[in-house]
Amino acid sequence: MQKPYLLHMITPEKNLSAFDVNMAFDAGWTAMPYLGVELDEVATIVQDTIFSRGPQGLKRTGIFIGGRDMHLAMDMFHAAQDAIVQPFEISILTDPSGAFTTAAAMVATVAHQLKVRHDQDLKGQRILVIGGTGPVGASSAVLAAKLGAEVTVLGRAMDKANTVADLCNTRYGTVVEGVKGDASDHIDDLLLEADVVFATAKAGIQVLSEEQIASAPKLKVAADLNAVPPAGIAGINLLDNGEQIKASKSGAVGIGPLAIGDIKYQTQQKLLIQMYSSGEALNFHFEDAFEVAMKKVR
Ligand SMILES: NC(=O)c1ccc[n+]([C@@H]2O[C@H](COP(=O)([O-])OP(=O)(O)OC[C@H]3O[C@@H](n4cnc5c(N)ncnc54)[C@H](OP(=O)(O)O)[C@@H]3O)[C@@H](O)[C@H]2O)c1
């Protein structure tokens, strides 16, 4: 009898994301939850997993790491990799709060619009990540900075925004000062130089008005992740995917949360299926998610 596909889903939180559990089952996995896991417990879970199934059974076994904290998730990802003992290899995917696949989808859809409308890539673009101190904002800041963008993460408090920016730079090898922090109070000045905005604040919060969009003379693309009314960026509809934003005087186009969500869904599903279908042990984090999202967008 073939062994079932088992995905051991680890989170430091009280609950797994129900979204991720649905995604895992829909991709063909049976999901096993491990809740409230601490970093130093990851190795034991991984080794209990690998030694009980043998190399062939491990092709039908995976580890998923969730949670709310991008940095802890990456620490857990590395701890899981370090716990592997040859030849008992196993696939590992980390996607805390869906942040990696969501950020990958947003950055990919923006990169696509820059290419088709301006024949430009992300290198040198000035990007404001509004409400950027959460897991999705920080992940998208790292991805964009690694592609050469000049990224500013905005939060309500300057200290928190600076801490998030510093962690992005020191932990993920973005170029020196690739990510800066600033307070959202300064947004009107920052909009004067912005090429791109990402709206990544908590759901249900509008972070940019029509007047502010009109006041951004260089704006090319605005991406909004908020699917809970009101829109995170006024004038961007849920399904927009490159439509002109009426209020923009620079002809900026908008990308709405459901257009980004579609690419996010396809990216996460592809990664979950590849974990068992490729025949080899694969390890995925935000950069792998971005590669897949770029292929989906094209
Ligand atoms: N479309 C999709 O496929 C998809 C998928 C996943 C997530 N999302 C959306 O992506 C967004 C980001 O997710 P996340 O989990 O990273 O967000 P989050 O952690 O809930 O919030 C991000 C930031 O929002 C700021 N914030 C909180 N309350 C605020 C308020 N009242 N006014 C202004 N700012 C406020 C906070 O920053 P400060 O405290 O520093 O101000 C917080 O760090 C959410 O809207 C989420 O629903 C969309």
What is the 3-state secondary structure of the chain?
CCCCCEEEEECCCCCCCHHHHHHHHHCCCEEEEECCCCHHHHHHHHHHHHHCCHHHHHCCEEEEECCCCHHHHHHHHHHHHHHCCCCCCCEEEECHHHHHHHHHHHHHHHHHHHHHHHCCCCCCCEEEEECCCCHHHHHHHHHHHHCCCEEEEEECCHHHHHHHHHHHHHHHCCCCCCEEEEEHHHHHHHHCCCCEEEECCCCCCCCECHHHHHCCCCCCEEEECCCCCCCCECCCCCCCEEEECCCCCCCCEEECHHHHHHHHHHHHHHHHHHHHHCCCCCEECHHHHHHHHHHHHC
The mean-pLDDT minimum among 50-59, 90-99, 231-240, 288-297 falls in 50-59
| CA-closest residue to ligand 1 atom 11 | 200
Domains identified in the chain and CATH numbers = 6-98+263-297 (3.40.50.10280), 102-260 (3.40.50.720)
- Residue 173 banded pLDDT, cuts 50, 70, 90: low
The rounded Å distance from CA 60 to ligand 1 centre is 35
> Does residue 42 have a pLDDT over 60?
yes
Closest ligand 1 atom number to CA of residue 155: 40
Provide the residue type at 90 as one letter: I
| Cβ of 201 below 6 Å from ligand 1 | yes
| CA-closest residue to ligand 1 atom 24 | 201
Closest CA to 285 of 113, 100, 150: 100
Closest ligand 1 atom number to CA of residue 137: 16
Q: What is the pLDDT of residue 55?
A: 81
pLDDT tens digits along 45-96: 999 999 888 888 888 999 999 999 999 999 999 999 999 998 999 999 999 9
pLDDT tens digits along 176-210: 457 999 999 999 999 999 999 999 999 999 999 99
Q: What is the pLDDT of residue 38?
A: 98
The rounded Å distance from CA 203 to ligand 1 centre is 6
C-alpha to C-alpha distance for 27 and 11, rounded to whole angstroms = 19
Closest ligand 1 atom number to CA of residue 164: 40
| Cβ of 136 below 6 Å from ligand 1 | yes
Q: Which of 106, 156, 202, 239 to mutate to test the pocket of ligand 1 (most atoms within 8 A of CB)?
A: 202
For residues 216 and 252, the answer to whether their CB atoms sit within 8 Å is yes
The rounded Å distance from CA 31 to ligand 1 centre is 27
Paired residues of 198 in beta bridges: 129, 223
- Predicted structure pTM score: 0.96
Which tokens belong to 37?
């896991």
pLDDT tens digits along 208-221: 999 999 999 999 99
For residues 58 and 3, the answer to whether their CB atoms sit within 8 Å is no
C-alpha to C-alpha distance for 123 and 115, rounded to whole angstroms = 11
| Cβ of 256 below 6 Å from ligand 1 | no
Mean pLDDT of the chain: 95
Q: Which of 71, 136, 208, 296 to mutate to test the pocket of ligand 1 (most atoms within 8 A of CB)?
A: 136
